[in-house]
Amino acid sequence: MHIGELFSMFRKERGITLKEATGNQFSTSMLSRFENGQTDISAEKLFQALDNIYLDPEEFLHLLRGFHMSDFQRFQMQVNRYRDNKDMDALLRLQEEEAQAITKDGKKQYHRLNQLVISTILDEDFGKKMPRAELKEVEDYLFKNGVWGQYELYIFVRSINLFPSDLMVTYCRELLHRMDFLDKHYNNRLLMHSIFLTALFISIERRRFSDAQYFEKQINQYFDDDRELYLRIVLKLAQATLEYCQGGTEAKQEIDDLIETLIKLDASDFAQYYRREIDKILQNCK
């Protein structure tokens, strides 16, 4: 099914006329020829028409692919599965596949960045030290890219633990300047929240408490959303950890209670992860 045919199907099923679908912003004959596969229309007109038949562009793209994942989504799924299974050999194979893929489709930068993402995971989860030159490639890419999307946010959240604190804070400050753009997409918002929570924990672990307080303030200011229950529990865990490391030993009980809450919410894997990571931080705070 071509793109115009798919659009036509949704328009007709929803009982919307050609004129209503154009919103008087371009001619009905142009839209009709598009639906019949006789001509293309600009991206601007397509987005206008999708809005007029109340169909989300992301949903439309997903349907157009025949419900297949994008290359990026498929890569994320593979990485997450291998990481969850602690399968270093599978990650190394995937890294080699990304290198070979360059000769097949020519997307050199995309596949190289995917290789670097895997290197960050091999460093953080398996102790396979990422060469400084490779981390510099990540830093350079993020620095020179003035417009971050979901892909750049994903790269940053995967590599953030390897950045020096000052550079991490600098990048996060820049992200806040782009909130008006990044915050429009729900998945971007979740990634942003994850980045700032991770930066908060990293700052506590490195005993940079002023940085930790900065991240705590930004999270409370920009990400106050009761619908994101899991993220709010993690924020409470970070706040209690910060309080403990600053001398409030009674916060230990709150940490235990919050871990128990995650278990009761059937999030045992997350509970075990934060139990392990927070215990390491608390040990260093003694």
- Give the mean pLDDT of 188-196: 84
pLDDT of residue 225: 60
Phi, psi dihedrals of residue 202, rounded to the nearest 5°: -60, -45
pTM score of the predicted model: 0.74
**CA-wise closest residue to 3 among 28, 29, 39, 44:** 39
* CA–CA separation, 165 and 185 (whole Å): 27
pLDDT band at 286 (very low <50, low <70, confident <90, very high): confident
Instruction: Give me the sign of the Cα torsion angle 215, 216, 222, 225.
Output: positive
- Give the mean pLDDT of 141-161: 88
Which structure tokens are listed for 132? Answer: 């400084």
CA dihedral 183, 188, 191, 193 (to 10 degrees): 20
* Residue keyed to tokens 């999307």: 149
- Give the mean pLDDT of 171-198: 78
Average pLDDT over all residues of the chain: 88
Percent of the chain predicted with pLDDT > 70: 93
Instruction: Give me the sign of the Cα torsion angle 239, 244, 247, 250.
Output: positive
Helix count (H) and strand count (E) of the chain? 17, 0
- Give the mean pLDDT of 198-202: 95
Phi, psi dihedrals of residue 185, rounded to the nearest 5°: -110, 130
The yes-or-no verdict on residue 186 having pLDDT over 70 is no
pLDDT of residue 185: 64
pLDDT band at 69 (very low <50, low <70, confident <90, very high): low
DSSP 120-158: HHHHHHH--PPPHHHHHHHHHHHHH-SS--HHHHHHHHH
Which structure tokens are listed for 260? Answer: 């128990």
pLDDT of residue 10: 87
